[in-house]
Structure 1
Amino acid sequence: MDRRQLYISTVAAGCDEAAARYGLGLEIAEYCTAANLDAPTPEVVSAVAGHRQAADRFTFHAPFNELCPAAIDPLALELSRHRYAQAVQAAQGWGCRKLVVHSGFIPRVYFPVWFVEKSVEFWRDFLTQIPEQMVLCLENVMEPSPQMLVDIVRQVNDPRLRLCLDVGHANAELSLTPVEEWVERCRPWLSHLHLHNNAGGWDLHDPLERGTVPMEEVLELLSEDTSLTYTLETLEAGGNVTWLLEKGFLKL
């Protein structure tokens, strides 16, 4: 991947230093906590000021706690709509072309066919307020397979809604599908990826080389697609950038 394809999540220690050193982008994660969209704490204000100095391009991670575009309670659905609209506005302030949103699926709570139907309805309506140049990337979290997310994006059929494949989540305990199969089935609708590893149990956001995600194979499968972007969503930045460089996956 070219350096302009790679971003570092601001959850990572040393994110600003690594972004500045290697000319990488940042994925702004401070607003995953929705309250920061209303009244950011002094710590958040200070952090985002540092991010703006460290990088010249950004992606944006929308809030996700208690949010679901297929919520059963109409007030919960309205909350999701409100928070996503705030996130879009904030992302525009960062000049972001891509905004990551969680699907909101919870196993044993939502019936998959119903979840797809309601999600399609929500996104078709919500996308009417999204600028043509912005892409919302729907991220897998608790889904057992890619099928629901693929069905949602395929049925919405709008270039402003694409997929963010989180390979760590695809390898964690709730996934019943091998990571390589996630890649192949998501590929036609794929725009962005989150890179981190784990041992197939808890979602630990471990370093790229530590875990059972076949990271080199995943990156090799996607290496020819220069339209994709990636975010390092590990808990530390520098060592993982070094790993990508040493393995030849990152070209500066």
Structure 2
Amino acid sequence: MDIYISQLDETKKVLPIIEKYDVGLEVVQFASPFILDDKKTYIESYKKELGDILNYIDISIHGPFADLIPGSRDNMIRKITDYRFEQSYYVAKALNAKKIVYHHGYTPKTYSNTEWLNNSNKFWNNFLKNKLDDIQIHIENTLEDDYFLINKAITEVNNPNFSVCLDIGHVNVYSHLGVNKWIYELGDKIKHMHIHNNYGDKDSHSSIIKGNMNIIEILNLVKEKYNDTSISLEIVNTKELEESLEILYEHGLVKKR
């Protein structure tokens, strides 16, 4: 199981963690439209910040998501979504990233299942067309109550580089179904996961022990059934991130360098 940490703090605070633990980095900075509009400048700046470490860790990119809707009925909204997604794809190639995470973008009760899937499938088929490299595209659940639409999207688009990023924190807050149910039903469509904890009341992105989910139990289940699934610790507080990594180390789920 490959493990990443989402960069939700300054690079200078994150680098010592990467040097201590055998983890990759999920880069979040390029989710910003401001940064994407000057992406070449920021790519070069970011490469200098990371230095030599960029040569020996795996990189994932969190794509832009604010106001972007792949399944929109508005053609202009889909065009700007495609434009932003293409910008972040350029970043992924420039940083030799292995994967990109994009939000599914569905807001419950705003579209019929049929309309959403028709629009979304058309969008993703067009976006994935002619992308012949090995960058994995993962779509992430956000506000969904259940897995139906994201499951159907992966099945119907049917592209080997297109899969689910299961965010268990979002499931715990927004879904009436438990995380294990999502895991069993989506199965090997899950190729990446966002790991953080909460108490089911808000999307707090807390330490793996600061919430009502048994994260170790969940990770052991995934490791046993779908060992090629990678995870990213998406924890806001850097001290809680380090605490979580040490717990994973104690349970044999991550190594130290």
Task: Compute the TM-score of the two structures, normalised by the length of structure 2.
Answer: 0.89
Matches within 5 A, 1:1-252: 1=1, 5-12=2-9, 14-39=13-38, 49-55=48-54, 56-172=57-173, 174-224=174-224, 225-235=226-236, 236=238, 237-252=241-256
CA distance change for structure 1 residues 52 and 6 in 2, over 3 Å: closer, same or farther? farther
| Contact 1:69–1:122, Cα closer than 8 Å, also in 2 | yes
Deviation, structure 1 residue 47: 5.5
5+ residue gaps, structure 2, are none
Shift of 1:216: 1.7
RMSD over aligned CA atoms reads 2.1
The offset of 1:213, in angstroms, is: 1.9
Aligned 8 A contact 1:70 1:115 in 2: yes
Q: Call closer, same or farther: CA 1:144–1:17 in 2, change over 3 Å.
A: same
C-alpha displacement of 1:12 = 4.4
Contact kept? 2:164, 2:192, Cα under 8 Å = yes
> Any idea what SS the aligned residue of 1:222 has?
helix
TM-score, reference length from structure 1: 0.91
Report deviation, 1:48: 5.6
Tell me which amino acid in the other structure corresponds to 1:8.
I
The 3-state SS of whatever aligns with 2:129 is helix
Asked whether the equivalents of residues 107 and 144 of structure 2 are also in contact (C-alpha less than 8 Å), the reply is: yes
8 Å contact kept, 1:17–1:54? no
CA contact (8 A) 1:97 1:133 kept: yes
8 Å Cα contact 2:223/2:229 also seen in 1: no
Aligned AA for 1:27?
Answer: E
Residues 58 and 98 in structure 2, CA contact (< 8 A), matched pair in contact too: no
Instruction: Note the C-alpha offset of 1:8.
Output: 0.7
| Residue 15 to residue 187, structure 1, CA distance change in 2 (3 Å) | farther
The number of residues matched between the two structures is 248
Q: Within 2, Cα distance between the matches of 1:50 and 1:183?
A: 36
Which range moves more in the overlay, 104-113 or 152-161?
104-113
Residues 32-77 of structure 1: CA deviation (Å, up to 9, x unaligned) = 112211126x999756633354442200110000101111221111
Q: Kindly state the Cα deviation for residue 116 of structure 1 after the two structures are TM-superposed.
A: 1.8
Distance 1:230 1:104 in 2: 20
**Contact 1:165/1:186, CA 8 A, preserved across alignment:** no
Q: Report sequence identity in percent.
A: 26
Q: What residue identity is the alignment partner of 1:58?
A: I
SS in 2 for 1:223: helix
Deviating above 3 A after TM superposition, structure 1's stretches of 4 or more consecutive aligned residues are 42-49, 51-55
Looking at structure 2, the residues matched to 45 and 88 of structure 1 have their Cα atoms a distance apart, in angstroms, of: 16
User: Cα deviations across residues 149-185 of structure 1 (Å, max 9, x unaligned)?
Assistant: 010000011111101001111111x212111111111
| 1:71-97 per-position Cα deviation (integer Å, ceiling 9, x unaligned) | 122111100010111111110011012
User: Displacement, 1:100?
Assistant: 0.3
